[in-house]
Amino acid sequence: MLYPLSYEGGERRDRTRRRYDLSMALSVLVVDDDPVILRLLQVNFELEGIGVATAVDGEEGLKMAQSDPPDLVISDIMMPKVNGLELLAALRSNPDTAALPVILLSAKAQVADVQRGLELGADDYVTKPFDPLELIDRIYKVLAKSRR
């Protein structure tokens, strides 16, 4: 389901955010070669009050994450230049970004694909198509877990 959030349900969103003790401003880096996905996530996250930076491939995403680390990275897997798994490995191998939470967002939905992403160090794995509300909930869960 790819649709922008509406302003309805804002109260539920606030309760979810408080439940995970995430009252501070958040920043997310979204790395995907699909401009529709980038824009969809940018609009939805901004409606939620989450700051968004975007990159069109893993190479650009890696540079952005290293120069101005976000609170969390969301990355597609299948991209040109540097794919999402290579981006994840590069982030995990750098001491400055090793602890950066990463959610993989991919059309690769086989159990083996999900397991591989998690084994390589992803904090979560979301398959396309996805519900933006569920993705936002998962962002909050990952951030709350990483901040303990």
Q: What tokens were used for 31?
A: 């790395």
In the sheet with 50-55, reading across from the earlier edge strand, the strands are 50-55, 26-31, 72-75, 102-106, 124-127
The percent of residues in the chain predicted with pLDDT above 90, rounded, is 65
Question: Is the predicted pLDDT of residue 79 greater than 80, yes or no?
Answer: yes
Calculate what percentage of the chain has a pLDDT beyond 70. 83
Average model confidence (pLDDT) across the chain = 86
**Structural domains for the chain:** 10-146 (3.40.50.2300)
What SS3 state is found at 66?
helix
State pTM to two decimals.
Answer: 0.84
pLDDT of residue 14: 52
Q: Quick: pLDDT tens for 114-146.
A: 899 999 999 999 998 889 889 999 999 999 888
